[in-house]
Structure 1
Amino acid sequence: MQNILVILDKPKHEQIALQRALELADKAGAKLQLVSFVYEPVVSIPILSGSILNLSDQIKKERGEWLQALQSEYALPSGSTAEVIWHHDIPSWTIEHLASNPCDLVVKTAQKQFGRGGFGSIDWRLIESVPTPLWLAVSTHWVKRDRIVAALDPAVDNPLHIELNQRVLKLGERMTQLLGADLESVACVPVSGEVTDIDTFRKQAGALLEAIDKVIAESGVTCSQSHFVTGKPAAEVNRAVDRNKARMILVGRGVRKGPRGFLLGNTAERILGRTNTDVLIVP
């Protein structure tokens, strides 16, 4: 991991993304590219653009001064850069930038909307479209142990899902090595209502558990613990993460083909919408 793009919080905020990126860069020897977005919508009104020009220059100047102070406060790795970006759309700029400036990871503080659940619209657009692993960070002072949990797709009869599971596991292993954490896995079999044939269900669940163990073994990754749960995935996966006070959950992005190839499946969306910890999206 050599290059990390960090989308900074606004000046008044805690800079959680920067803190996460600095910790990782210190362990990985990576360089950081810090970007701080500013924009004034009225500049798009032609009749006002002339009078607003000085205002936009002043906004950029003030943010640049703040960015310089930030670099003095945090010791950035050698070779790191920091710049102010004048752009109205963070996701579109990020995707365009990554097309010509590949990096290993994008880190951003999550726009958690606890009142309604889930992430803000900017985060969802990044989740759905960014071709690079995306770390969305939240303030998690309640974390007790450094555990990282890889959420695995139980549809192990599909080669695409198997490959995605293995990418999740391998990135999880890399992150645990860098951060000194333990890697665990969780897979949830969705069960709605009552199971009418308990014996058959146990037999099928046992076969599925063996198949998931095989996926983990073939990835070459070692998990300190594997959680196999049943029920509603959004609730049960997050319950396993919360119960173990994990610092991060890894979720693979959906593998649909065609026009919706970059959209998460409904299950992954529901898991993400209810998570209380950092999330790493694996494309």
Structure 2
Amino acid sequence: MNGHYRNILCVLSDTHHQDNVVKQAVHIAKSHQASLTLMLALESLPPNASIVMASFTALDSQQSMEAQANDWLVKHADKWSQKYPVKTHLCIGNPLIDIVRYVQKDGCDLVIKKAEDSFLDRLFGSLDMRLLRKCPCPVWVLDPNHEGKYKNVVAAVDLNYHYPEHEIALRKKLNLEILYHASKIALLEFSQLHIVHIFDSVPENIRRDGFISVDDNHMETDLAKIHAEREQALEVLLGELEAKLAPDVMDYLKPNVHIVHGYPRREIAATTQSLATDVIVMGTLARLGVPGYIMGGTAEETIQQLNCAVVGLKPEGFVSPITLEDES
């Protein structure tokens, strides 16, 4: 079965202990029958290098850095290519800009990268977060300690459609893309697919902050109505997914649905952890349709709490603030 991705870029941020990262990237590329490029993206020497040493020495150092990095990449690519054909690309400059511009030029449909910081600290490195914000294609941030296949795949969807009409349409399309990406991963990995939606009620938020009191009976009635509303929205979404997939695929997937009442900024990560999730597919924009308003609120807080791999998707029409213009 062919996968969803066709042209994958795996980013290496340094030359230390990259075998497991490349192993995971090769596994994903092989599963999707996709081309794979390994990019070594390094920071250039600081601008004040010529101040602390003679300019010709700084130039020699930059050239030496490039030569050594290229030698390392070619040598290791020969070894990695024995498992799966890979192309290589070396960038020394501004990694974020170099990565995004390569994606735009080469038409990459997935970027894979190891999480910079320890998952034990539950923090993503700054380059990871900036790629999730600004890269025009999906970004798959790997758990460097993961081994083997993905057993549990989570699709985190937002079924709250109480927004302006133009934004509702974008949210629905993004939810469908999240489900589609997660379904493809689950199929190729022979994994269990979980669909997670966390809902909270505005009155409960207000009550939690202690501003007003709310009748518990009314609250329970409201929560029941919201739960039913979200179940109905998901039923429609699953019908659209079934139409997009090959016949009988949904019968094979048999997704487990988790519609959970709670505070989304806590419960998405908590539910994911309780499901022993290997990878979560989620949207990485806050308010859709609001230019420049990205990676805030629930998305960013959730990502910082996760201890699994993340595939971050952008909504239809997203345009990266990084362009190919004014290249030096």
Fold shared per TM-score above 0.5:
yes
Amino acid at match of 1:138: D
In structure 2, what is the Cα distance between the partners aligned to 1:135 and 1:241? 17
1:256 aligns with 2:288: yes
In structure 1, what is the Cα distance between the partners aligned to 2:149 and 2:103? 35
> What secondary structure is seen at the aligned counterpart in 1 of 2:187?
helix
Contact kept in structure 2, 1:24 and 1:179, CA below 8 Å: no
Amino acid at match of 1:268: A
Q: Which runs of structure 2 are paired with 1:71-110 in the superposition (5 Å)?
A: 71-74=77-80, 75=82, 77-78=84-85, 80-87=86-93, 89-110=94-115
In structure 1, what is the Cα distance between the partners aligned to 2:268 and 2:161? 17
In structure 2, what is the Cα distance between the partners aligned to 1:247 and 1:133? 17
> What is the CA deviation profile of residues 77-124 of structure 1, one whole-angstrom value per residue up to 9, with x for unaligned ones?
33x31132111x211111222222111210000123557643121111
Residue 272 of structure 1 deviates from its aligned partner by 0.9
RMSD: 2.5
1:240 aligns with 2:246: no
Contact kept in structure 1, 2:43 and 2:95, CA below 8 Å: no
> What secondary structure is seen at the aligned counterpart in 2 of 1:34?
strand
Question: CA 1:140/1:184 → structure 2, altered by over 3 Å: closer, same or farther?
Answer: farther
Contact kept in structure 1, 2:115 and 2:144, CA below 8 Å: no
In structure 2, what is the Cα distance between the partners aligned to 1:143 and 1:99? 31
Question: CA 1:142/1:239 → structure 2, altered by over 3 Å: closer, same or farther?
Answer: farther
Question: CA 1:2/1:115 → structure 2, altered by over 3 Å: closer, same or farther?
Answer: closer
| 267, 271, 277: which one aligns with 2:302 | 271
Residue 170 of structure 1 is matched in structure 2 by: 180
1:66 aligns with 2:72: yes
| 200, 211, 227: which one aligns with 1:190 | 200
Percent identity over paired residues:
22
Contact kept in structure 2, 1:251 and 1:280, CA below 8 Å: yes
| Rg larger for | 2
Contact kept in structure 1, 2:227 and 2:259, CA below 8 Å: no
Residue 69 of structure 1 deviates from its aligned partner by 2.8
More off after superposition, 8-17 vs 48-57? 8-17
TM-score between the two structures when normalised by the length of structure 2: 0.77
Residue 267 of structure 1 deviates from its aligned partner by 1.1
Which residues of structure 2 form unaligned runs of 5+?
163-167, 209-213, 315-328
In structure 2, what is the Cα distance between the partners aligned to 1:244 and 1:103? 31
> What is the CA deviation profile of residues 47-91 of structure 1, one whole-angstrom value per residue up to 9, with x for unaligned ones?
54321122222222222222233223323533x31132111x211
> What secondary structure is seen at the aligned counterpart in 2 of 1:260?
coil
Residue 133 of structure 1 deviates from its aligned partner by 0.7
1:31 aligns with 2:38: no
> What secondary structure is seen at the aligned counterpart in 1 of 2:63?
helix
Aligned residues: 280
In structure 1, what is the Cα distance between the partners aligned to 2:99 and 2:215? 46
In structure 2, what is the Cα distance between the partners aligned to 1:212 and 1:141? 31
TM-score between the two structures when normalised by the length of structure 1: 0.88
Residue 141 of structure 1 deviates from its aligned partner by 4.6
Amino acid at match of 1:77: Y
Contact kept in structure 2, 1:156 and 1:212, CA below 8 Å: no
Residue 14 of structure 2 is matched in structure 1 by: 10
